[in-house]
Chain A
Amino acid sequence: MVNTITIGQYVPAESIIHELDPRTKIGAVTLLIVALFLVNSFTGYGLITGFLGVAILLSGLPVRFVMRSIRPLVIIIIFTFILNIFMTPGKTLLLLGPLQVTDTGLYRGTFMSIRLVLLILATSLLTLTTSPIRLTDGVERILAPFKRVGVPAHELAMMMTIALRFIPTLLEETDRIMKAQMARGADFESGNLVGRAKNLVPLLVPLFISAFRRADELATAMEARCYRGDEGRTKLTQLVVRRVDVVALLATVAFLTGTVIWFRV
């Protein structure tokens, strides 16, 4: 049951998108997100969808597979949609008891949902085509200039690496503890909200205890391997910006700026 959660896990393959420098991809996705918040029309979103579609095709990943990353967040999307439909004032289209569906509500709801879907697809494409190492290296390098003003670039990247490394381990452990507690009669699936939350205690307590023990042992193991922050540290994999990165980033900037200027009402 826990294994169905895959948070945009990296899928190794050879494609232009895979081989782009992680900084290019992080930059492009950031720009795209900004554009999503600035663009204010369906036509604009249509263009961005097309742009993202091309990127997905270039990545060589099956489109359906990329779309699957929306699934864990479907509830949030639906929730956003419904909330917007009912809560936005405007001309009433439909009356459902005390609730009213308005025209602007319908418009806003649809718009927000599309925005969320595009957001999720863009970030998923990033994590699906970038290995965790390159991703964290990219983050570290992007943040490096801000070290002077106190941004702990290396530490953040290290935390990300460790989180990514231990997510599968902790998921496995959660599953194991759940099964063990279920064998003793624990019930995680029925009851009201409060009851369910209470039932999680016998799951969370052992999980946290074990996580703290792991953290302690990992810290010792890292120290034993001469870890001392990023002072004097080198890297196995070097990041290099190639011509294709420059082209890709410029193309993204040009396209998104164009779209924003044109369709920002």
Chain B
Amino acid sequence: MIRVEGLTHVYQTRQGQELKAVDGVDLNIAPGEFVAIIGHNGSGKSTLAKHFNALLTPTSGRVWVAGISTSDAGRLWEIRQKVGMVFQNPDNQIVATTVEEDAAFGPENLGVAPAEIRRRVDEALQAVGMEEYARHAPHLLSGGQKQRVAIAGVLAMRPACIVLDEPTAMLDPVGREEVLGTIKRLNRDEGITVVLITHFMEEAVEAGRVIVMENGRIVMDGKPKEVFSQVRRLKELHLDVPPITELAQSLAREGVPVTPDTLTVEEMVQQLLGN
């Protein structure tokens, strides 16, 4: 779905200096994958993600989306239709004055016929559970609802992949739950490839694959269990470990028979009850 080879991105800072935000990244994301990207502030996650739909193009190296090079300016819109993007601040990505008009914004830009836009908007709002709010004004919705509207706006473009850059950072726990549930369902039921950038480890463990970034490089890449069991390594990178994993490791050290790569509460309960 997305192939990245030797990607480097250098920003020109206002002081005239050069800042290497992404530094020689190689990455392959297969169709249908659910990938979480973690890493502390400034590690280059957003910069990398913006290459996935050609909001940024490589300083050197190459990025392909569904076989199309993102440096191919003639096919820019095709790429952006295939890879949708959801951003952190729900207020700053809703364009229109009603929910359904906003969901229609993408297909309108693509020149889809009105009847087909209608169908896609209804489907997209249904997919995120916002069909009842179709005619509501966005500013009256909760953060979680706004973010679901933003996801619907992307879905209406019928993308193969959705990239979400810290979509839950500004939400309360209820809103986070809503958004994560929606993302998981889209990945599982609709087969949409998902790239989720997050600071919340509880969200990262839900993914099928976790990528850890540091200083513009990928430093860890594997299944959640493989990544989160390396507690010491993560601490060195100043990253949190899911609290339940930390507990499991302490318990294991004390001789309680739980595996140190326990990621969820259910897993923990099962292990403890099983013994």
- Tell yes or no: B110 within 8 A of A by CB: yes
Interchain CB contact under 8 A, A226 and B139: no
Give the tally of cross-chain contacts (CB within 8 A): 99
Q: Can you list, as one digit per residue, whether each of B100-131 has a CB less than 8 Å from chain A (1) or not (0)?
A: 11001111111111100110010000000000
Kindly list chain B residues whose C-beta atoms are within 8 Å of the C-beta of A222: 95, 105
Residues of A within 8 A of B89 (CB): 214, 217
Q: CB-CB < 8 A to B137: which residues of A?
A: 168
Question: Contact mask A156-178 → B, CB, 8 Å, 1/0?
Answer: 00000110110011001000000
- Inter-chain CA distance A228–B53, complex, in Å, is 15
A226 neighbours in B (Cβ, 8 Å): 77, 80-81, 106, 109-110, 157
- Given known contacts A220-B55, A234-B117, is B139 in contact with A225 (CB within 8 Å)? no
Residues of A within 8 A of B112 (CB): 234
Give the docked Cα–Cα distance between A172 and B105 (Å).
Answer: 25
In the complex, whether B96 has a CB less than 8 A from a CB of chain A is yes
Chain B's closest residue to A173 (CB) is B91
- Verify if B154 is at the interface (C-beta below 8 Å from A): yes
Cβ-neighbour of A224 out of B53, B113, B117 (below 8 A): B53
B44 in contact (CB, < 8 A): no
A217 to B101, CA, bound (A): 19
Residues of A within 8 A of B138 (CB): 165
Q: Is the CB of A165 within 8 A of B94?
A: yes
- Cβ–Cβ < 8 Å partners of B108 in chain A: 233-236
B114 touches A234 (CB 8 A): yes
- Which of A162, A169, A227 lies in contact with B139, CB distance below 8 A? A169
Q: Is A4 an interface residue (CB 8 A)?
A: no
Chain A residue with the shortest CB-CB distance to B112: A234
Indicate whether A97 reaches chain B with its CB closer than 8 angstroms. no
Expressed in whole angstroms, the Cα–Cα distance for A131 and B95 within the complex equals 15
Nearest CB in chain A: distance from B98 CB, A: 6
Taking a contact as CB atoms under 8 Å apart, the answer to whether B113 and A221 are in contact is no
The answer to whether A218 has its CB under 8 Å from any CB of chain B is yes
List chain B residues, Cβ under 8 A from A225.
80, 84, 95, 105-106, 109, 153-154, 157
Chain A residues whose C-beta falls within 8 Å of the C-beta of B106 in the assembled complex: 225-226
Q: How far is the CA of A235 from the CA of B94 in the complex (A)?
A: 17
Contact, CB under 8 Å: B84 / A224? yes
Q: Which residue of A lies closest to B135 (CB)?
A: A12
A224 touches B135 (CB 8 A): no
Q: A226-B106, A228-B77 are in contact. Are A165 and B95 (CB under 8 A)?
A: yes
- Complex contacts, B60 vs chain A, CB 8 Å: none
Q: Which residues of B contact A14 (CB under 8 A)?
A: none
Are B100 and A236 in touch, CB under 8 angstroms? yes
Alpha-carbon distance between A234 and B154 when the two chains are bound, in angstroms: 17
A169–B105 Cα gap in the complex (Å)?
19
The reply on A238 being an interface residue by CB < 8 A is yes
**A133 CB-CB contact with B under 8 Å:** yes
Interface string of A123-159 (1 = CB under 8 A from B): 0000000011100000000000000000000000000
Q: Which residues of A contact B121 (CB under 8 A)?
A: 236
* Interface status of A187 (Cβ within 8 A of chain B): no
Contact with A along B122-150 (1 / 0, CB 8 A): 00000000000001011100000000000
Within the assembled complex, what's the spacing in Å between the Cα atoms of A12 and B109?
A: 27
Nearest 4 interchain pairs by C-beta: A221-B93, A236-B104, A217-B92, A226-B109
Known A222-B105, A224-B84; 8 more pairs at CB < 8 Å: A222-B95, A225-B153, A226-B80, A232-B111, A234-B111, A236-B101, A236-B108, A236-B117
21 CB-based A-B contacts, threshold 8 Å = A132-B98, A133-B96, A133-B101, A161-B97, A164-B97, A165-B96, A169-B139, A172-B139, A214-B92, A221-B92, A222-B95, A224-B53, A224-B84, A225-B153, A226-B77, A226-B109, A228-B109, A233-B111, A235-B114, A237-B101, A237-B114
